[in-house]
Amino acid sequence: GAGVSQSPSNKVTEKGKDVELRCDPISGHTALYWYRQSLGQGLEFLIYFQGNSAPDKSGLPSDRFSAERTGGSVSTLTIQRTQQEDSAVYLCASTPGLAGAKTQYFGPGTRLLVL
């Protein structure tokens, strides 16, 4: 079936603007993760959703970042009042959410550039 999809693939915005990034997980996957990769860095965990449970937001770098997941499927990551240090590749991953299903499948990412 289809893999994880993300949109837009690229986003250029001006400092101070809000942006929304979208993730469509693999059909049937109940667990969804957001990560970001800044230039020259490894991937950094941001937030985790499992089914209808409250998300784990422990990785969000500031209160300008928020995410929601509607209907247990599509997720939107919102960055308010963007800063230049928010420039990164934002990656979404999903898993079946079953015990032992630890392999995460990633989307292609959204490349965000804040000018």
Partner 1 sequence: DQQVKQNSPSLSVQEGRISILNCDYTNSMFDYFLWYKKYPAEGPTFLISISSIKDKNEDGRFTVFLNKSAKHLSLHIVPSQPGDSAVYFCAASASYNNAGNMLTFGGGTRLMVKP
Q: How far apart are CA 55 and CA 72, in angstroms?
A: 11
Binding status of residue 31 toward partner 1 by CB under 8 A: yes
| Residue of 50, 66, 80, 87 interacting with partner 1 (CB under 8 A) | 50
Binding status of residue 33 toward partner 1 by CB under 8 A: yes
| Residue of 7, 76, 87, 104 interacting with partner 1 (CB under 8 A) | 104
Three-class DSSP labels, 47-77: EEEECCCCCECCCCCCCCEEEEEHHHCCEEE
Q: How far apart are CA 55 and CA 51, in angstroms?
A: 9
Reading the block at residue 43, the tokens are 């991937």
Binding status of residue 75 toward partner 1 by CB under 8 A: no
Binding status of residue 105 toward partner 1 by CB under 8 A: yes
- Tell me how far, at minimum, the Cβ of 24 lies from partner 1, in Å: 13
